[in-house]
Amino acid sequence: MAEVSLRRVAKRYGSFQAVENFDLDIAHEEFVVFVGPSGCGKSTTLRMIAGLEDISDGEIWIGERVVNDLPPRARNISMVFQNYALYPHMTVRQSQGFGLRMARRPKEEIAEKVNRATSLLGLQGLLARRPAALSGGQRQRVAMGRAIVRDPDVFLFDEPLSNLDAKLRGQMRTEIKKLHEKVRTTVIYVTHDQVEAMTLADRIVVMRDGRIEQVGTPYEVFHTPASRFVAGFIGSPPMNLIDARIVGDGQGGLAVAVPGGPALPIDPARFVGVRADTEVTLGLRPESIAPEGMGGPIERPYGFAADIGLVEPLGSEALLILALGDVEVTARVFRPGPRLAPEAGVRFVIDLNDLHLFDDTTGRRLDRRSE
Amino acid sequence: MSIGADTRAATGRSPHLARRRLPAAEPYFYLAPGIALVAIVMLVPLAVGVSFSFQNYVIFRPSARGWIGIANYVDLWSDRTFWLALRNTARWTFWSVAFQLFLGLGLALILNRPFFGRPIFQSLVFLPWAVPTFLSGLNWQWLYNPIVSPLPGWLAAVGILDEPRNILSDPDLALYGPITAMIWWGIPFFAITLLAALRSIPQDLYEAAAIDGASTWQSFRHITVPFLLPMITITIMLRTVWVANSPDLIFVMTGGGPASSSQILPNYVFTTAYRALDFGYASALATVLMVLLVIYSVFLLFVRGRLGQ
Ligand SMILES: Nc1ncnc2c1ncn2[C@@H]1O[C@H](COP(=O)(O)OP(=O)(O)OP(=O)(O)O)[C@@H](O)[C@H]1O
Ligand SMILES: [Mg+2]
């Protein structure tokens, strides 16, 4: 059993605050993904959990113990590094067994565990090779094997797939997910790729500038982003974020007015704290805007006419760049027909149930669900 | 001018043979000037030197000069000074290189981790290397002089010597004077090369090892040592050849004495050639040293090759 808890953890490099006030409880066997832009402190946090970096403030618990002052080897964790950090002078077999040999385990036990990891990862036939004679994907697998062999309480991954090409990355992503089904352990996985985060995670931790921006399931993070930053970071293509204004709709209700464009009525039951004549950021997912008749099921349609400026066909879907008032927004169409082309005055619908509003100054979500 | 100019039809004969032979020989044409230069600069003097060892070649008896086969080597077999010098060469080289290696490695390990004042300390460590050997020889000669230096007194105080006297005039100990000077002078070479090798070890391997549960000693044993070994063997080889061939510190500090007791082969070669003026015999001595060093180097390179697998 290994829950991992971080209590108000901070990391300072001199006067630079790399991680601050990091509070998180990770359940046993949970797969948690830290995601965020480059330099936001993901690796630093992971390395503090691993014991490779001193903790400036706060406490880290693994299982029943505070591990702040324990060296990495006393924490019973494994880590897969971004560049794999394989021992170049050891064969695959030797490096798989390295941890167990250092712990002076009996030979039969080492052989058995190495064999198990080998068959789990399909490394048969590579055991006598050195890292220099392996492909990138194979090295990645060996690094994972080395981590598995030791039966750790917690697995740490630091961008393990970022050195692979797109296709292999997809395959390995699936494999990691399958592996977690077989080897149930607590996993903390760092990536800056939001697709990896969405597909792998039980829970996603979105980070920004050393702080947690939102913690939630992939569904929550996608459908109710806690802030403008999360909204723009999760989802591909990213959510359209429009500087807009709340206005009265003339019948006692409220609407959000796109500059130079339509005013979209908003549901007063949902956006309770919103008042007229305030600036907000309006968020619209590309998939909740579609030409009439081409969208999926739309709960509360709102129709308007717009000019399609550009079409980006992607095969199974297409991105349309259109003018909504004075702003350009992206719409996403699934199963586009062959004749999609730039065109003026096309009828579009927006799903009014899929509006996101964010406070103009704080960037926080304006929504009853987030309170 | 036409494309068919040198086909069989155009020339009426087969161009195949000439064509095929030329490409095989071609690289050697390009290499020829280089090979010639190496041969002239290195191999010819070597061959001439070795050929002296098969001659009776004493400068002040020019009329007696001539080929005498292996007579010089036969003389050498029964020359007690030769055997003494050979033993001394082994002793001199072994202790010098062994201490340089361990102290140099220690220094490199210390300098590899950051501490306050490291840049200053680092330049101080490398200072002996910049001191001319003759100067350091003279310095150490003075250091062993009980009249001007406290060192003999200290050696007596810790019980190494029975009384504060000059070890350079003791036939049993004289060689250790130049050996300490050589160690002092040569440590920086090991420290520099091993520090460079240490710096080239990727830091994340130590992190991976720490996570794999390795203790400090275990990561030294399983990461640092394997990475350093190729560098260590090549440095040992270079230093051995170098130290074994260096008569200058001994020349300055003891002159090979007292009574040849600190004579090593290069000193003996030098005195034979320039004091006794017997170039033939001196060449035989030098050739023996060279052959021994070549065998040693080949052995070390073989070991290094095995390590690299
Ligand atoms: N040794 C250090 N000294 C000073 N600042 C550091 C040090 N290590 C990291 N930082 C800073 O801490 C911040 C967080 O770094 P970290 O490596 O955790 O980023 P990251 O989220 O992993 O980014 P990436 O996705 O690029 O790997 C960065 O701004 C970085 O410059
Ligand atoms: Mg990182």
Query: Can you give the residue ranges of every domain in chain A?
Result: 4-233, 242-370
B226 in any annotated domain: yes
Residue B251 and residue B128 share a domain? yes
Number of domains forming the structure of chain B: 2
Residue B62 lies inside a defined structural domain of this protein: no
**Residues B235, B293 within the same domain:** yes
Statement to judge: residues B141 and B275 lie in one domain: yes
CA B5 to centroid of chain Cα atoms:
60
| Strands lying side by side in the sheet with A4-13 | A16-26, A4-13, A57-62, A65-66
Residue B185 has pLDDT above 70, yes or no: yes
CATH number at B156 reads 1.10.3720.10
> What is the predicted pLDDT for the residue at A368?
64
Q: pLDDT means per 10 residues in chain A (371 residues)?
A: 89 93 93 93 94 93 92 91 90 91 91 89 88 89 90 91 86 89 91 91 94 94 93 91 89 87 86 85 91 78 89 89 91 82 86 90 77 42
Query: Whose CA is closest to A130, among A86, A87, A83, A91?
Result: A91
CA distance to partner chain A, nearest, from residue B209 (Å):
8
Is this complex scored with an ipTM above 0.85? no
Residue with the two structure tokens 């001018």: B1
Helix ranges (DSSP H) in chain A: 42-50, 92-102, 107-121, 136-149, 166-182, 194-200, 218-223, 228-233
Q: Quick check: B97 pLDDT over 90?
A: yes
pLDDT single digits (tens) B116-130: 888 898 888 888 888
Note the pTM of the prediction, 2 decimals.
0.79
Q: Is residue B38 part of a domain?
A: yes
Looking at the structure, tell me whether residues B243 and B273 fall in a common domain. Answer: yes
**Is B66 among the domain residues?**
no
Residue B36: partners with Cβ closer than 8 Å, 6 or more residues away: none
Second-level CATH architecture of A4-233: 3-Layer(aba) Sandwich (3.40)
Confirm or reject contact between B200 and chain A (CB < 8 A): no
Answer whether A83 sits within 8 Å of B204, measured CB to CB. yes
Please indicate, yes or no, whether residues B156 and B217 belong to a single structural domain of this protein.
Answer: yes
**Residue A311 corresponds to which tokens in the numbers above?**
């079409």
pLDDT of residue B104: 93
Q: Count CA atoms within 13 Å of residue B139 on its CB side.
A: 12
- Counting one residue from chain A and one from chain B, the pairs whose CB atoms sit within 8 A come to 57
Q: Could you tell me if B210 lies within 8 Å of chain A, comparing CB atoms?
A: yes
DSSP run (H or E) holding B186: helix B176-199
Asked whether residue B216 is domain-assigned, the answer is yes
Tell me if B137 sits within 8 A of B181, measured CB to CB.
yes
Question: DSSP per residue over B188-234, as a string?
Answer: HHHHHHHHHHHHTS-HHHHHHHHHTT--HHHHIIIIIHHHHHHHHHH
Give yes or no: residues B76 and B48 share one domain: no
- Tell me which of B204, B207, B212, B217 to substitute to probe the interface with A (most A C-beta atoms closer than 10 Å): B212
Q: Is B225 on the interface with A (CB under 8 A)?
A: no
Mean pLDDT for all residues in chain B? 85
Range of the domain at B30: 3-52
For residue B65, being part of any structural domain is answered with no
- Closest alpha carbon within chain B to A129: B309
pLDDT digits (tens, 9 = 90+) for B208-232: 999 998 999 999 999 999 999 888 9
B40 and B187 assigned to the same domain: no
Position B8 pLDDT exceeds 60? no
For testing contact with chain B, the best of A49, A89, A96, A139 (most B CBs within 10 A): A89
The CATH code of domain A242-370 reads: 2.40.50.140
The Cα–Cα gap between A85 and B266 comes to: 48
- Look at residue A276 in the predicted model and tell me its pLDDT: 85
Q: Which residues of B touch A77 (CB under 8 A)?
A: 211
Average pLDDT over residues B8-34: 68
